[in-house]
Structure 1
Amino acid sequence: MKDEDISVLNYHFSSFFTHCIKENHIKVASHHFSNKKIEGLTIVDSLGTTFSYEKENSKAKQNFTLCHELGHYILKHDGSYFMKSVDNQEKLVEREANIFSAVTLMPDIVLLSKLYYNCESFQNVQDSLEVSKQALYFRLLDLLRVFFTDKDTYIKQAIKDYMEGQNAPLLLLLHDIKDDIIGEFNKYKPCLLNQIKNKIGTLGFVTSQDIPELLDQKQWSKLQNNTSYLKIWLVYNKGKSIAYVWDKNKLSESEARKKAELQLLLM
């Protein structure tokens, strides 16, 4: 989310999933077996990695399956063949992949934002994240159990009330843990290169006034080694300095410097 500058209220797993698929050259295909017992497959061979999902399943179940298969890959489970079926749910690697899938589809900060701050209904959250009723129920249950180890009965009732349109008990629980969830989310700092790409936009120019980390010249070589079209420099005047990055396909070196000097004068 932070790397792609996506609002937590607009989060959908597809952006992360698509990034992982492209980055790792993973193929995705569908399959169909008449009994629908095999919901997903991961195959790793000399041709690469392939994920497969049951095409006759609901969209919500397909989403869970795809994230489940991605979990096997990201978690580096040992093996070249994984099968998600109704008969092997209790295997450790399958349970780990299920947890990965649930968290990818429904991150803590997204649930907090939608339920606590935006007061969205259970159905609305389910629809916007494209998950099943069962998946959302158990995700909320697992999230709350982490913080409230001795309130299992109360948690289950609060979630059931929420499903029926009464959100007060659930909001009280979320109120007590919101600072922990936000604190954990804020620990992650987005990649500098992604920050630049998100902000440089159509103008082809961004400065350390927008991204203060640009003043750290130790980062420059890493940026320049990872992109051929971005250039970075710094201007200094009367005790003030400003670092700037420009897209060489949109601005010349002199044009970028003039823009930086103008911003420096206005500081």
Structure 2
Amino acid sequence: MNELYTRVSSTTKRALYQFMKDHEISLLNYHFDYFFQFCIQENNIQVLSHHFSNHKIEGLTVVDGLGTSFSYERDNPKVKQNFTLCHELGHFILKHDGSYFTESIDNQENLVEREADIFSAVVLMPDIVLLSKIYYSCDTFHQVQNSLEVSKQALFYRLSDFLREYYSDNEGEATQAIESYIEGKNSFIFHLFHDIREQIIEEFNQFKPSLINQVKQKVRKVGFTTSLEYPDLLNQDNWKAIKASSINIKTWLVYNKGKSIAYVWDKEKFSDEEARNKAELQLLLM
């Protein structure tokens, strides 16, 4: 398999699968926008639209003193806009060196643009999601295409690259299976997925929910959580990393009659006293 594809695909899945585990993303209801919105909010990335009459520039990434911004051609079909947005995110997540990236028909063979294309395809159509929809849910090609909001061409090439990674010695068989799948005959591609399903699942299950990320997201949503929900909060070795994840997060511990609760709160939503009172109430109810 192409070394470039394998390397970028692996890097992409490390970031994406960790996110999916931390946020308990449903495999059958997956959509790229969950990950995309999380990334742009976490990194204060601005997303804009642009328009050029010749449609020559599909997407732009600009990094300057004001931060990072992505833009996409507003007149493109939604499926193309989706690919472009993930492509531009790829430049950021893959840490490409530069302050200006242009996605256009003139630079498709550029190395960083090819890497961003691979990143986009994997985020839009992750391995584990393709397995879930095609093998376990028995979705048709059209159903997968519509639910993931990708073009027919994008899904075809994604399946080709995906199966080629596992069946590098028999690319013709993989291509035939995809073509049959498009025509509504899924038995051939079902057989291919059956033989590799354990490898795909094992790769996904290597990732475990991160305590820091889970606590951070919980506090972001409701402003408060305790060790009753996340027992590892009682280990104060975790506090430093949790507090370092956001300037608004604070942690502490309360005791009563041999029992204790560690709690974490958003100082902009609750005062120290309010947070302590909430923790003490939960402690009394134990």
Letter matched to residue 276 of structure 2: E
Q: Deviations for 1:185-215, whole angstroms, at most 9, x for unmatched residues? A: 111223213323556776954435x545334
Q: Distance in 2 between matches of 1:255 and 1:69?
A: 43
Corresponding residue number in structure 1 for 2:10: none
CA contact (8 A) 1:26 1:48 kept: yes
Would the alpha carbon gap of residues 121 and 206 (structure 1) be closer, same or farther in structure 2, given more than 3 Å must change? farther
- Out of 205, 227, 234, the residue aligned to residue 207 of structure 1 is 227
Would the alpha carbon gap of residues 236 and 115 (structure 1) be closer, same or farther in structure 2, given more than 3 Å must change? farther
Gaps in structure 1 of 5+ consecutive residues: none
Corresponding residue number in structure 1 for 2:276: 253
- Out of 107, 111, 121, the residue aligned to residue 126 of structure 2 is 107
Number of aligned residues: 260
CA contact (8 A) 1:199 1:206 kept: no
Would the alpha carbon gap of residues 55 and 255 (structure 1) be closer, same or farther in structure 2, given more than 3 Å must change? closer
* Pairwise CA distance, 1:74: 1.5
Corresponding residue number in structure 2 for 1:233: 253
TM normalised by structure 1 equals: 0.85
Spell out the pairing of 1:109-258 with structure 2 (5 A cutoff): 109-197=128-216, 204-207=224-227, 210-225=229-244, 226=246, 228=248, 231-233=251-253, 244-245=262-263, 247=265, 249=270, 253=276, 255-257=278-280
Q: Distance in 2 between matches of 1:184 and 1:107?
A: 12
Q: Distance in 2 between matches of 1:202 and 1:49?
A: 28
CA contact (8 A) 1:29 1:52 kept: yes
* Pairwise CA distance, 1:121: 1.4
Would the alpha carbon gap of residues 252 and 54 (structure 1) be closer, same or farther in structure 2, given more than 3 Å must change? closer
CA contact (8 A) 2:226 2:233 kept: no
Greater mean alpha carbon deviation, residues 150-159 or residues 30-39: 30-39
Letter matched to residue 207 of structure 1: S
Q: Distance in 1 between matches of 2:205 and 2:34?
A: 20
Q: Deviations for 1:92-126, whole angstroms, at most 9, x for unmatched residues? A: 11110100000111111111111111111111111
Q: Distance in 2 between matches of 1:148 and 1:88?
A: 29
- Out of 82, 98, 106, the residue aligned to residue 63 of structure 1 is 82
How much identity, in percent, do the aligned residues show? 53
Corresponding residue number in structure 1 for 2:48: 29
TM normalised by structure 2 equals: 0.80
CA contact (8 A) 1:242 1:260 kept: yes
Q: Distance in 2 between matches of 1:202 and 1:28?
A: 26
CA contact (8 A) 1:69 1:97 kept: yes
Greater mean alpha carbon deviation, residues 138-147 or residues 245-254: 245-254
For the residue of structure 1 that corresponds to 2:21, the secondary structure is coil
Would the alpha carbon gap of residues 252 and 176 (structure 1) be closer, same or farther in structure 2, given more than 3 Å must change? same
Q: Distance in 2 between matches of 1:37 and 1:105?
A: 23
Greater mean alpha carbon deviation, residues 79-88 or residues 140-149: 79-88
